[in-house]
Amino acid sequence: MDSYACKVILTSDRTLMSNYSNSLFYGFISTAPKGLLLTEILFKVTFNKPRLYDDGRAILAPQGLRRIEAALIKSNLLSKDEVVVTTLENIKNFISEKTKVIGITTFDPLGKGPASTTLCGPYGIVHRESINSYYFRELITSEIIQGARRNNVKVIIGGPGAWQLGYSEMEELGIDVVVEGEGELIFPRIVKSILDDSLSTPIRIKTRNDEIPSADEIPPLLGGTVGGLVEVSRGCGRGCGFCSPNMRRLRHRSIENILKDVETNVLCDQRNICLHAEDILRYGTHSFIPNHDKVVELFKSVKSIREVKSIGISHAELASITSSPSTVKEITEILELDKHNWLGFQTGIETGSISLIEKYMKFKPAPFKPNEWRNVVESAFSICSDNNWVPAATLIVNLPGEREDDVIQTIELIENLKPYRSFIVPLLYVPLFDNSCKPMRFLEDAKLYHLELYRVLWRHNMYWLNELARDYSKNNNSLVKLVMMSVVKLITKYINRRVEEGFYRAIKQSLCMNNI
C-alpha cells in the first residue's frame, strides 16, 4: 500500500481495538474505574495489544468500524488503498497531505453508558473516571489527532456512544463532526462533502429514516473483527422505552452474507465467531415467535465452515427462549454444549415489577403478556440451565416512577433464580431522551429496599462466580487464567466478607434512620 494515498484513516481507542485474549466479554472490564489496583490488573492482563500487518494496518478492528470501511469502498468514492484501519500509534504511518478524514468509532466516550455510570463517575460505586472514557480522551486529545486537525484533517466521531457528544464536548475535545445513528449510507456522503470542501463544521448529524440501510445495504466485512463478531440482525422492535437498539428497525442479513463475514474472519485467523443480534432467536422473522427452521439453518451453516473453532452469541431474549425451547435445545446439540462448555449470552431481566413492565416495556414479554413476565424469566432460566446456556443478565435501578413494591417484586424474582447458573448485574437507569428523572447515586441514594436488592444480587453472583469463571477462563493462556482465578479467590474469600459486613452496617443504619 502507498501510505501517501490514504485519504481516510479509521481508528478507535485501545479498549475497542483489543481482542481481550479471545474472550470478548472481558471487554466489559473497560467500564470499570481506572486507577484501582484490581481493575488495572484485570485490564492489563486481559488486554491484547492489537495485531497488525507489517505495514501497520489492523488485522482486527471493531465490527462497526469494519462496516464503515466496507461502505466507503463499496460506494466507489475511494479505492481500497485510500482507506486504512489502524491504531492510534500507527496513524503516523499513513497520514500525509492527502489525508482528509480521521474517522473514530466509540462505544462509551464519556463513561455515560449504563455499566460505566453504575461503576464509575459521580453516580457510580467508585467516583473515578472509567477506563474506556480515559482511553477515548487519550485518543481524541493526542497530538497526532489534534495536529492533523490543525492541518485541516476533519475528525469524525460515530458509533453507539456518539449520543454522548454534544457541541460543547466537541469544542472541548476537538471534534469536527459527530454522526449519530447508522453510518453505512450517510458516512460516504459526509466524506464526499469533506473531499469537495463543502461541509461546514462543527456539525452534529443524525441519521434520518431514509438514510438507514436495508439488510442488503449492510456491506460484507473486508477485514477481521474484534471478538470474531459477525452481525446477523440489526434492531429489535420490542419497543422498550429506555433502550437505544430499539430505535433501529429490525432487519435480518442473508445467510450468504453472514457466511462471507465468517470466512473473512477465518482468513484473519479469527476462528472464534460471535453471532451478533439483539435477539439471536428472532433471526429470520419479525414475529415474536422464533422461526425455528431459520435459526437452526443459521447455526448449521456457520458450523459447516470447517475452520470455525467455536460459535458464540451476543444476545438472546428471555421471552424467545421461553416461547421456543426446542430451538434452544437444537442449538445446544449443534454446538455440542455440555456443563463446562456452555454458551454465555447477554440478556435483560430489567425488573420483576409487572407495573414497570407494562409502563416501559410491554412488548418485552411478547408473545406472552406483561403480567406473565416473572414466569417467563423463571422458565427461560430453567430452559437455559437444562441446555447449558448461561445468561449474563441486567436489572435497571431507578426507572422513573420506581417504588418500593417494584423493587420487592424484583428481589423475589432474583431469589427464585438462584438454582440456575447465571450472572446478574444491576445498572442505573440512563435516560436517553427524558432528563426529567432525578439521577440516583448507586450507593449514597440507595433506599433500604435497594440495599436488599444489591445484597440478593451479590449473594447470587458469589454462589456462581467460581464455577463460571473457571469454565470461562479455561481456554485462556496460563497467565490470564492464573490472574482471573486469583482475583476470583480474592473476591470470594476476602472481598465477599467485607461486602457482607458493609451490607449489614448499611441496612442496620437505614433501619435505625427509619425507626424500624
Q: d(Cα 304, Cα 301) in Å, to the nearest integer? A: 5
- Residue 245 pLDDT > 70, yes or no? no
Non-local CB neighbours of 37 within 8 Å, separated by 6+ positions: none
The pLDDT tens digits for 399-422 are: 999 999 999 999 999 999 999 999
**Domain limits of the chain?**
3-208, 224-390
Identify whether the C-beta of residue 349 lies closer than 8 Å to the C-beta of residue 394.
yes
Residue 311 is placed in which grid cell? 460459535
**Number of other residues whose CB lies within 10 A of the CB of residue 390:** 22
Predicted confidence band of residue 255 (pLDDT cuts 50, 70, 90) = very high
- Nearest residue to 427 via CA among 319, 350, 515: 350
- Residue 1 pLDDT > 50, yes or no? no
The CATH class of 3-208 is alpha beta
- Residue 231 pLDDT > 50, yes or no? yes
Angle, CA 57 vertex, CA 138 and CA 180 arms, to 5°: 55
- Residue 237 pLDDT > 90, yes or no? no
The pLDDT tens digits for 82-101 are: 999 999 999 999 999 999 99
Domain covering 224-390, topology: Transcription Regulator spoIIAA (3.30.750)
> What pLDDT is stored for residue 495 in this prediction?
95
Predicted confidence band of residue 246 (pLDDT cuts 50, 70, 90) = low
The pLDDT tens digits for 178-220 are: 999 999 999 999 999 999 999 999 999 999 999 999 999 999 9
Task: Give me the helices (H) in 22-140, please.
Answer: 37-46, 63-74, 114-119, 131-140
Q: Is 395 left (phi over 0), alpha (psi -120 to 50) or beta?
A: beta
- Residue 460 pLDDT > 50, yes or no? yes
198-228: string of b/e by CB count within 10 Å (b at 16+)? ebeeeebbebeeebbbebeebbbbbbbbbbb
> What pLDDT is stored for residue 4 in this prediction?
52
The pLDDT tens digits for 346-375 are: 999 999 999 999 999 999 999 999 999 999
What count of Cα atoms within 13 Å lies in the side-chain half-sphere of residue 216?
0
- Nearest residue to 277 via CA among 320, 337, 306, 332: 320
- Give, for 225, the enclosing helix (H) or strand (E): strand 224-225
